[in-house]
Copies of this chain bind each other. A is one copy, B any other.
Amino acid sequence: MMRERGGKLFSLLALSSAAVLAAGGATADRGAGGMSDEDKIEYRKAVYKVIGVNFKPMGAMVKGKIDYDPELFARNAQRVADVSEMALEGFRGGPHQGNTESLDAIWEEWADYRQGTERFQEQAQELASAAQGGAEWPQLKKQFIQVADTCKSCHDDYRED
């Protein structure tokens, strides 16, 4: 469901971008589809920075380094799920020239990369739903690890070490 929704939204974004290009709008007013390479790189880095900062305290709770705080965990899980919807946008139409650790394999194996992102989005949404729904801590820890595994999988294959 998430996947279909994502697909629809990306189509909308592509349409919007085409409209911008057709209208010859100024760069500053273009949507993600009409962004420069550097802008796309900055955008995707920003998206993952926001995800990472909110992911970390959850990881610390799962590892037992800080006390489990149900409200903070649920809030951050929702944030990660929300922002994960933007995770693919800055990668579209690459490779892009600039300061990036992204490997060209992303675009050479685009279908696989997209599916990996969609798995991340789905698992993150499941974690958010479980946390918002008051699931028990052992179940949340298990689901958190499912999300973390989707991160690791793509990082191993598609990011410079």
Binding site for B on A (CB under 8 A): 9, 12-13, 15-16, 19-20, 23, 25-26, 28-32, 35, 39, 42-43, 45-47, 49-50, 53-54, 56-57, 59-60, 63, 65-67, 69, 71-72, 75, 79, 82-83, 85-86
Contacts and interface: CB of A to CB of B under 8 A. Distances in A.
- Tell me what chain A mostly uses at the interface: helix, strand, loop, or mixed: helix
Contacts of A60: 20, 25, 29-31
A28 B56 contact: yes
User: Copies per complex?
Assistant: 2
B65 A25 contact: yes
Contact of A66 (B19, B35, B42, B86): B19
Contact of A69 (B12, B29, B35): B12
Nearest to A18: B66
A57 to B, nearest CB: 4
A17 to B, nearest CB: 9
9 contacts: A12-B69, A29-B56, A30-B56, A30-B57, A31-B72, A39-B53, A47-B50, A50-B83, A83-B83
Contacts of A67: 19
Contacts of A83: 50, 82-83
Contacts of A69: 12, 15-16, 19
